[in-house]
């Protein structure tokens, strides 16, 4: 099979983006499920952060920007879960064994989070700033509550 130079560059760029630069072990498994899910979780944080700053009055409210962030989060909410494959709790993962031992509870935490993120996106178009603040808090709470149950060092 011939791989074009462009494709090869993309593969290398992805490998660099997904490798842990923090001295943690690299995810060398085929498909890099741990690296992929962590990458998406980081994207959660990057997307939520500007909305959190608005909610805490540390950033001016701009509805178009806020809406764009809320819609992006809505796009992301379903993405990490299929990377929690059986037998993928290996370094550098910070997942607790409960992810695999209590699948129904893990699914419930995903669903709660998803409904909070959807509610935020629905409000972002014309909700009041107070509504939006409450909706951002709900999303943040659902992140934290899942981490408490299912992530180490949280």
55: left (phi over 0), alpha (psi -120 to 50) or beta: alpha
Least distance in Å: CB of 134 to ligand HEC?
A: 16
Yes or no: say if 66 and 139 are a contact pair by the CB < 8 Å rule.
Answer: no
Longest dimension (CA), the chain: 57
Q: Which residues bind ligand HEC (CB under 6 A)?
A: 34, 37-38, 41-42, 44-45, 48, 93-95, 99, 106, 109-110, 113, 139, 142-143, 146-147, 150-151
Report the candidate in 152, 14, 16, 143 with the shortest Cα–Cα distance to residue 80. 143
The two tokens of residue 111 are: 């669903």
Q: Between residues 9 and 78, which has the closer beta carbon with respect to ligand HEC?
A: 78
Task: Round to the nearest angstrom and report the end-to-end CA distance of the chain.
Answer: 45
The two tokens of residue 27 are: 């995810």
Least distance in Å: CB of 2 to ligand HEC?
A: 35
Q: Between residues 66 and 150, which has the closer beta carbon with respect to ligand HEC?
A: 150
Residue with tokens 């669903």: 111
The two tokens of residue 29 are: 């498994």
Q: Between residues 99 and 121, which has the closer beta carbon with respect to ligand HEC?
A: 99
Q: Between residues 38 and 133, which has the closer beta carbon with respect to ligand HEC?
A: 38
Q: Between residues 99 and 127, which has the closer beta carbon with respect to ligand HEC?
A: 99
């Amino acid at each position: 099979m011939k791989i074009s130079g462009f494709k090869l560059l993309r593969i290398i760029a992805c490998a660099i983006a997904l490798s842990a630069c923090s001295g943690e072990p690299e995810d060398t498994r085929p498909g890099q499920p741990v690296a992929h899910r962590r990458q998406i979780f980081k994207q959660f944080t990057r997307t939520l952060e500007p909305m959190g700053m608005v909610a805490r009055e540390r950033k001016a409210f701009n509805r178009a920007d806020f809406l764009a962030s809320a819609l992006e989060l809505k796009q992301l909410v379903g993405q990490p879960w299929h990377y929690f494959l059986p037998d993928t709790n290996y370094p550098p993962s910070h997942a607790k064994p409960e992810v695999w031992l209590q699948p129904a509870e893990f699914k419930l935490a995903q669903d709660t989070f998803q409904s909070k993120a959807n509610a935020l996106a629905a409000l972002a178009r014309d909700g009041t700033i107070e509504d939006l603040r409450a909706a951002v808090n709900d999303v943040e709470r659902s992140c934290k509550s899942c981490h408490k149950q299912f992530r180490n060092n949280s």
